[in-house]
Structure 1
Amino acid sequence: MELGDKAIGFFLLTFSFSLFAYYTFWVVILPFMDGDHFVHKYFLPKEYAIIIPTVTGVAVLSFLMVFIGFIMLKSKPKAL
């Protein structure tokens, strides 16, 4: 394995863990803290906790469906 592959893998792992930790703190812990706590200024409003993953999921599923459709059309057997 090349050094570049390890660096990319480490970056993706770190990014994924950071995103998971941020979202978990935002959704699970933040609602139990006082509304005037200084930590609230580092997070978006609660409504975005549902909107962002939903829009991201729809975009990813749409991309996958278009990709699969494109591959199916491209690999279609030729008629005799």
Structure 2
Amino acid sequence: MATGVDQVAGTSLILFSLTLFTYYSIWVVALPFMDGGHVLHKYFLPREYTVILPGIAAVLLLLCVGAFTAVVLWKNQRPKKVN
């Protein structure tokens, strides 16, 4: 059973992900079709960051997965038996 802390953490992660997805979707899909002087443009970064930030996030994710895999493999090495 999930405790109250687990439920709050899960709900927080879902809300964060939903907010980030909505922000990025508006930034990438809607803003290119709006005039440059529209009021929404002041809440978003310049367009070149639409590629740079996800690229950096992907590299960091791959580094974390690789580091985790390396640590698990390193800890699971068993010493060889000497006959």
TM surpasses 0.5: yes
RMSD: 0.8
Q: How far apart, in 2, do the equivalents of 1:9 and 1:65 lie?
A: 25
Q: How far apart, in 2, do the equivalents of 1:44 and 1:29 lie?
A: 14
- Normalising to structure 2: TM-score of the pair? 0.92
CA drift at 1:77: 2.1
Q: Which residue of 2 aligns with 1:53?
A: 54
- Normalising to structure 1: TM-score of the pair? 0.95
Which stretches of structure 1, 4 residues or longer, exceed 2 Å deviation after superposition? none
Q: Which residue of 2 aligns with 1:38?
A: 39
Following superposition of structure 1 onto structure 2, how do residues 1-80 of structure 1 map, counting pairs within 5 Å?
A: 1-80=2-81
1:72 aligned counterpart, secondary structure: helix
Identity of aligned residues (%): 41
How many residues get paired?
Answer: 80
